[in-house]
Structures are given as structure tokens and as C-alpha cells.
Amino acid sequence: MSVSADQIRHVVHTIWSTQLGLELVDTDVDAIESGLAEQNVVDVAARYSGNFSGLLVQRCSLQLSLRAAETAFAANNEDLGVSDARDAVIELANMTAGNLKAILPGSCEVSIPVPIDHVPDSSPIVAQAGFLLQGEPLVVTIYGGE
């Protein structure tokens, strides 16, 4: 058994709503990928190793990252910087990666998410889901075969 887009959606919706009280809207990944390429983004990745070897990549706009940080840290957006936004996204990706680990086949370990400079383009996509929050994009992708 592998992870599906529906399982990613369920995990991400649950985390964002229970931890932040924010309700994401499902959207088509293709519709928001081009928009992500045109704006400041925060990209983080967690590596899976073991029976499943791959990568979870969470990409979102800087504005969505700041909104998550604002809620997570109970701070005003004006008081937050890029490092705060990155910290919030790393923690959200950590929760997502950990929850999805339970669905992956066999036994595997997951690393702490880290910021990345580019998204892998040669690894096959296992599953992917896109979301919007007040027009700001979020994409969560599981790559396999790393």
C-alpha cells in the first residue's frame, strides 16, 4: 500500500484545522504550481528511509507561511519574518511527514524537515495534493525512489 492524494488531503486538513484553526480548500495542483513559480515560496523536505525511500516536499507561498506562523506563534504578521514563516512550515511538514509515515509500506524512518532550494524533478511522484487558504497556495508531494 502507498500513500494517495486523498490520504495527504485528510492528514493536511486535520493538522491545519486542529493545530491552527485554519480551513484549507482543496484545489488542483496544476492550477497553483505555476503561481508558486511566480512568487516567494517556502519549500521544505523530509526524507523517508527504510522499506519506503522517498521525500515529502511541502511548498507554500511566503504569505501562507506567514499566516501559519501568525496563528502558531500568536503574533502579528508585521512582527514576523521569513525565519518565523520557515519555522512554522517546518513544524507543519514534520507533523504531516510523521502522520503519513504510518501509511507508508513497511517500516521506515523520517527525518526532520529542512528548507530546500529546489524541488526534485527526476523522482517519480507517488502522491500529491494542492490546497488554498484565502487564495494562497500549498502543495504537498510525496516522491518515491530516492
pLDDT, tens only, 23-49: 999 999 988 887 777 678 999 999 999
Helix axes 82-101, 62-72, angle to 10 degrees: 80
- Joined grid coordinates for residue 111: 527525518
pLDDT, tens only, 107-119: 899 999 999 988 7
Structural domain tally of the chain? 1
- Give the span between the Cα atoms of 87 and 66, in whole angstroms: 10
- Joined grid coordinates for residue 76: 502579528
Distances (CA, A) of 98 to 45, 104, 110, 121: 12, 10, 7, 23
In this prediction, residue 2 carries a pLDDT of 80
- Joined grid coordinates for residue 49: 528511509
Average pLDDT of the chain to the nearest whole number = 90
Q: List all residues 6 or more positions away from 31 whose beta carbon is below 8 Å from its beta carbon.
A: 130
Distances (CA, A) of 100 to 46, 109, 119, 136, 146: 11, 11, 19, 23, 17
Q: If you average pLDDT over residues 10-25, what whole number do you get?
A: 96
In this prediction, residue 20 carries a pLDDT of 93
**CATH number of the domain residue 68 falls in:** 3.40.1550.10
Structural domain including 76 reads: 5-144
- Give the span between the Cα atoms of 61 and 17, in whole angstroms: 18
pLDDT, tens only, 41-81: 999 999 999 999 999 999 999 999 999 998 888 877 677 88
